[in-house]
Structure 1
Amino acid sequence: MAFQYAVLRAVPRVDRGEFINVGVILYCQAYDFLRAAVAVDGSRLRALSAEADVEAVRLAVGAIARACDEPVGSARENTGLATRFGMLTAPKSSVVQPSPVHAGVTSNPEQTLADLMTRLV
């Protein structure tokens, strides 16, 4: 089945544009699946910026993971998984940013999410 995903990036200094990958959001309509897996490596983040607020990045990616798991916020955010995925992957100028959306095919979205985490984060 077709799926879409975006990589979550921590950008400690938005003005410099340098980032490390800290998670993956995966959406598969056929399996009614929307999940995020996250892992923040504080030492890698501080290598880009000694002043990086690692805890703030962990809180931000944790909020994204929770938003995948359950409806939050306004009614618009809760109209369906596709809408929620679109809102979570919309371009942002913040410390945690999504990559462009990519596509693929899967027969097991949970395993695909784990494989993408291993390969990309």
Structure 2
Amino acid sequence: MSRLAYQYVVLRCVPRVEREEFLNVGVVVYCQAADYLAAAWNADRERLQALDPRLDVDRVCDALAYVDAICAGDPRGGSAALQPRGQRFGFLKAPKSTVLQPGPVHGGVTTDPPRQLERLLSQLVG
């Protein structure tokens, strides 16, 4: 089995930027060699509302579904979803000032990008 380089970002829910508090809610993995781009997420309603009771968790889930659409190349992801995978990942990893923000880009090697995505989701999001 060949080892493939990949990059990933953790998606953070940041309900109140001024408090500098966030909760990890998802992961996006990009592996150019495998032509792979996918996201996995878990928006735990109870944990998110403990962070900010006023947070609209349904809107957070909508934003995460938008990320899924971009990764999948689904037209519901808008013009970003129509770009090549590498550019889609570039769009998703770019800093944003919204409630859903990407963390820093990290990298690694794997023999199985989908399995790596699930492992990262389990380790970093729960």
3-state DSSP of counterpart to 2:18 = coil
Q: Is the 8 A contact 1:38 1:62 kept in 2?
A: no
Instruction: Report if aligned partners of 1:27, 1:82 keep a CA contact under 8 Å in 2.
Output: yes
Deviations 1:62-112, CA, capped at 9 Å, x for gaps:
1101110115433x6533111110001100111000001100001100000
Please state whether the residue corresponding to 2:70 is helix, strand or coil: helix
Task: Specify the alignment match of 1:107 in structure 2.
Answer: 111
Q: Which residue of 2 aligns with 1:26?
A: 29
Aligned counterpart, 1:52: 55
Corresponding pairs, count: 120
TM-score between both structures, scaled by the size of structure 1:
0.94
Contact 1:24 1:116 in 2 (8 A): yes
* Contact 1:3 1:106 (C-alpha < 8 Å) held by counterparts: yes
**Quick one: percent identity of the two aligned structures?**
49
The match for 2:64 among 49, 61, 68 is 61
Unpaired runs of at least 5, structure 2:
none
- Structure 1's consecutive aligned runs of 4 or more residues displaced over 6 angstroms after TM superposition are none
CA separation in 2, counterparts of 1:116 and 1:77? 23
Tell me how far 1:16 sits from its aligned partner: 1.2
Letter of the aligned partner of 1:34 in structure 2?
A: L
Letter of the structure 2 residue corresponding to residue 20 of structure 1: L
TM-score using structure 2 length: 0.90
Q: Distance in 2 between matches of 1:117 and 1:25?
A: 9
- Does the 8 A contact of 2:69 with 2:81 survive in 1? no
How well do the aligned residues superpose, as a CA RMSD in angstroms?
1.2
Q: Using the alignment, how far apart are the partners of 2:10 and 2:113 within structure 1?
A: 15
Distance in 2 of aligned mates of 1:14 and 1:58: 18
Contact 1:2 1:28 in 2 (8 A): yes
